[in-house]
Structures are given as structure tokens and as C-alpha cells.
Chains A and B, each alone.
Chain A
Amino acid sequence: MLTNYLYILIFLGIGAVFGLLPMALGYLVSPKNPTKEKLSAYECGFPAFEDARMPFDVRYYLVAILFILFDLETAFLFPWAIVLNKIGWYGFLAMGLFVGLLVVGFIYEFRMRALEWQ
């Protein structure tokens, strides 16, 4: 059984090699004559005014936080979903309570316009 996971590890390694090998090959066969302008960051023709690592919109951060909440919920739902036909009504109602609480939170977010992107 565990050997199957070893296969996956080997596959991941081969996948990385599939990325690195063409790059090494490209490095060998491609021309190399860099100039200062060629190596500057692409903006609009002028030299870049400032560093690109500027402050960014806080909404991206909010989306990430909401994502963690819901992804955790998915993680709880996965094992429950597999055994649902064995645990019957009790399991269904227990998960209903749990998801119900999260749905209340979701409705709150909805009403507070936290999901809006304006």
C-alpha cells in the first residue's frame, strides 16, 4: 500500500525534472547577450518609477481569510461524506448543525457586504 505513495513521490520528482531539464537545455542553446535595458522590468517603455513591491489592496487578504474558514469546513466534510451512508440520521443532523452555524456566518458576511468587490 505504501509503495503507491512512493510512486507518487517519484512522479513528483520526475515532474520537477520535466521543469528543470528544458530550462537547462534552453540555457545551453539560447543566445546570451543581455543589455541593461533588456534586463529592466517591463512597464511602459520608461524605466520603472519605483519598486513593484508596493502595498496592495486589503481585500485580497480578506479573501484569503475567508478561504481558510471555508477550506477548513471542506476538510471536515470530506471524512463525513465518505461514511454518510453508515452513520445515518445522527451523523446527518450533527453535520447539519455544524454547517448550519457556518451558514449563519456566511449569511452575516453576505449581509455585511464582506463578499462584495467594489
Chain B
Amino acid sequence: MVEYVQYIETLIWVLIKIFLILIPLILGVAYLMYAERKVVGYMQCRIGPNRVGIWGLLQPIADVIKLLCKEIIIPSVSSRYLFIIAPVLTIAPALAAWAVIPFSPHLVLANINAGLLYLFAMSSLGVYGILVAGWASNSKYAFLGAMRSAAQTISYEIAMGFAFVGVLMASGSLNLQDIVLRQQGGIWHWFWLPLLPLFLVYWISGVAETNRAPFDVAEGESEIVAGFHVEYSGITFAIFFLAEYANMILVSTIAALLFLGGWLSPFEGIPVLGHLFAWVPGIAWLLLKTCCFLFLYLWMRATFPRYRYDQIMRLGWKILIPVTLVWLTVLGLAIEFHLKPWFG
């Protein structure tokens, strides 16, 4: 009986922790949407949303309520069950990936040894939702969008996997906390410097994998309307939207963890500044680094024109993969020769 109560207690604790991760994440998604419209607006000399609440701050909430009240349309030619299950297939891995993200030295839900492998798996699973959605819709635009998106995602996944391999070689662990702790010792010890080409490759493939501009041919509105989610309306569409933005935040957080030292302070080891900023909690640094990458997403969207599909495939296969292969060799040699100060 006592054991039974204990199990229930642990379960409730886990649920509370999960919601402590998910609710800020959902809010983050909502305000990333708002930030995107504001930032892109100002970059195009507009002011963005400013009607709902002060500075338009209630805009995302108004959007959600509107989408919730719109009719859910299930096309008569579609495969009904697959059509409904596709958004769930997209959102579940996008959220579940957050289980292994360490926010500070002790703040992590599941501290597993295969953390990076798990993240890799979850980011790969997202493609199923897109394929199923495009297939189930039975619409030409949706089908073409899904095919493009799937081929693009798997192409860039190889380059991303090789970039992860580089991080593993440098850190010697799959555990995300160990990977961050291995970068201790100030800004020059973070992996962005010894792994610079892999860092760039990771970022480019991360943007391509979330199907964001300039790699957004999968939903290029001027060619195939909205791609795989063209038949989705109301809240079913909102779930795809949520998953896409949750994935953006995830890619940015992983970039901060693997290459920019996660929760470590950038002033570590610097005489005066190090002490001055010692009070800042680690999670604040992690969030700050994540926000920098998120801003980069929006900046890229406002700046670059869309790639053509053959250019996307060429970049993925003919440039990113050879670059990673070369740098993995260089990295292997650096580790074997115990190159100081990183691999000493």
C-alpha cells in the first residue's frame, strides 16, 4: 500500500515537472510568433501587430482563440484517421524532445546517458507527421509539399548527424550535461571555436530541417500555396504551427548547448567581469543564447530570398557533407595529437 502511494507521488511530481517545462515553452512559442511579426515588421519598415493590448502584446492569445473557433474541415477525399493523427505525430516528438534538455547544472527532467542520440531521434521523427499529413490530405499541393519537405529534411539530417559526431568526438559523451561541462573554462573553450565549420553546418541544417526561410520551399506560398498543411484549418493548422515554432526553439537551444556552452557564463575566467556577473543564474545565460539564435532565425527570414529546390539539395549534399567529413578528419587528428588547449 505504501509503495503504491509512493508511485502516485512520483508520478504527480513528474507531471508537475513536465508542465513546468511545457507551459513556459508554449508561452515562448506564442511570443516567438509575436516577436517574429514585430521583428520582421520593423525590418520592413512596418510596425507589426499593435492593436490587441498594449504594443499588441495580446495578439497571440487573440490568434489562438480565433483559430479555436474556426471550423475544422476534413476534406471528403482525405484519409480521415491519418488526417487527424498527423498533427499529433508532429507535435508529440517536438515537445517530448524537451525531456532531456538541461537548463542548468541540476535542472533537467531526464538525465539520460544517450541524451544527444535521443534528441537526434526526436528531431528525425518530425518528418513522419509531415509525410502523413501530405499523404492523408489527398491534395496535389499537400502531396508535393510533403515530398519536398521529407527529401529536404532527410538530406540535411546527414549533415546534422555528422556535426553531432564532431561534438561527441570533442566531448567524449552523449550526455548533454557532460557535453556542457566539458566546455568549461571561458568563451574560448566553448565548442564553437574548435568546431567552427561544424557549428555553421549545424545551424544551416537546423534552419533547413525546420523548413524555415530561406529553405522554406516545402511551404513556399508562391509555388505550392502552403505545402503539406494546405488542407488543414482552424486548430489542426494551429498545432502544425505550434510544432514548427517549438522545433525552432529546440534547434536554437541545442545550438546553445552544444556549441555555446549552454548555461556557462561567457565571462568565466575573465578577472573583473567574471566576478561582476557571477550572480547571474545559469538558466539566464542559456535563455539569452537561445534568444540570440531565435533572432537569427527571424533575421534570416527577413533578409534572404528563398532558395530554389535544386540549390537546396546541392548545398546539402555537395557542400555541407564534404565540409563535415573534412572537419571530422581534422578533429580526429587534433584529438590524436592532443592539440592544446582544447584536447590537451
Binding site for B on A (CB under 8 A): 3-5, 7-8, 10-12, 14-16, 18-20, 22-23, 25-27, 29-34, 36, 38-43, 48, 51-54, 56-57, 59-60, 63-64, 66-67, 70-71, 74, 77-78, 81-85, 88-89, 92, 95-96, 99, 103, 106, 110, 115-118
Flag the segment in B31-39, B51-59, B169-177, B295-303 that touches A: B169-177
Specify which of A51, A53, A63, A88 is in contact with B155 (CB 8 Å cutoff).
Answer: A63
Which residues in window 153-196 of B have CB below 8 A to A?
154-155, 157-158, 161-162, 164-166, 168-169, 172-174
Task: Tell me the smallest distance from the CB of A118 to a CB of chain B, in Å.
Answer: 6
A51 near B138 with CB under 8 A, answer yes
Q: Which residues of B contact A4 (CB under 8 A)?
A: 110-112
A35 to B180, CA, bound (A): 56
Q: Which residues of A contact B230 (CB under 8 A)?
A: 42
Q: Which secondary structure dominates where chain A touches chain B?
A: helix
Chain B residues near A27 (CB-CB < 8 A): 72
Contact of A23 (CB < 8 Å), options: B135, B165, B235: B235
Q: How distant is the Cα of A48 from the Cα of B140 in the complex, in angstroms?
A: 9
Q: State whether B75 touches A74 (Cβ < 8 A).
A: no
Contact between B151 and A60 (Cβ–Cβ < 8 Å)?
A: yes
Asked if B140 and A52 make an inter-chain contact with CB atoms under 8 angstroms apart, the answer reads: yes
One of B85-93, B207-215, B248-256, B285-293 at the interface: B85-93
A81 & B325 in contact (Cβ 8 Å cutoff): no
Residue of A40, A70, A82, A115 touching B76 (CB-CB under 8 A) = A40
Task: Report the separation of the CA atoms of residues A55 and B96 in the bound assembly, to the nearest whole angstrom.
Answer: 35
Pick the contact of B88: A8, A16, A48, A83 (CB < 8 A). Answer: A16
What residues on A are CB-neighbors of B72 within 8 Å?
Answer: 23, 26-27, 30
B117 touches A11 (CB 8 A): no
Pick from B70, B98, B147, B168: contact of A30, CB below 8 A: B70
Q: A56 to B147, Cβ gap below 8 A?
A: yes
Interface size on B, residues (CB 8 A): 87
Contact B91 A18 (CB under 8 A): yes
Any A CB within 8 A of the CB of B318: yes
Given contacts A15-B92, A30-B68, A64-B154, contact A115 B313 (CB under 8 A): yes
Q: With an 8 A cutoff between CB atoms, is B137 at the interface?
A: yes
Q: What are 25 of the A-B contact pairs (CB < 8 Å)?
A: A7-B99, A7-B109, A8-B100, A10-B11, A14-B22, A15-B93, A19-B87, A19-B239, A27-B72, A30-B235, A48-B77, A53-B135, A60-B147, A71-B161, A74-B162, A77-B162, A78-B117, A78-B174, A84-B332, A89-B336, A99-B325, A103-B325, A106-B321, A116-B310, A118-B310
Instruction: Decide if A8 touches B73 in the complex (CB within 8 Å).
Output: no
B-side binding surface: helix, strand, loop or mixed?
A: helix
- With A60-B150, A64-B154 given, name 4 new contacts (CB 8 A): A11-B95, A40-B77, A48-B140, A82-B168
Interface contact A25-B165, CB-CB below 8 Å:
no
Name B21-79 residues within 8 Å CB distance of A: 22, 67-78
Q: Give B191-225 interface residues, CB cut-off 8 Å to A.
A: 225
B236 is an interface residue with CB less than 8 A from chain A: yes
Quick check: A74 and B139 within 8 Å, CB to CB?
no
Q: Given contacts A74-B158, A92-B332, is CB(A10)–CB(B310) below 8 Å?
A: no
A88 near B336: Cβ-Cβ < 8 Å: yes
State how many angstroms separate the Cβ of B244 from the closest Cβ of chain A: 13
On chain A, the residues within 8 Å of B96 by CB distance are 8, 11-12, 15
Question: What residues of chain A lie closer than 8 Å to B14, measured between beta carbons?
Answer: 7, 10
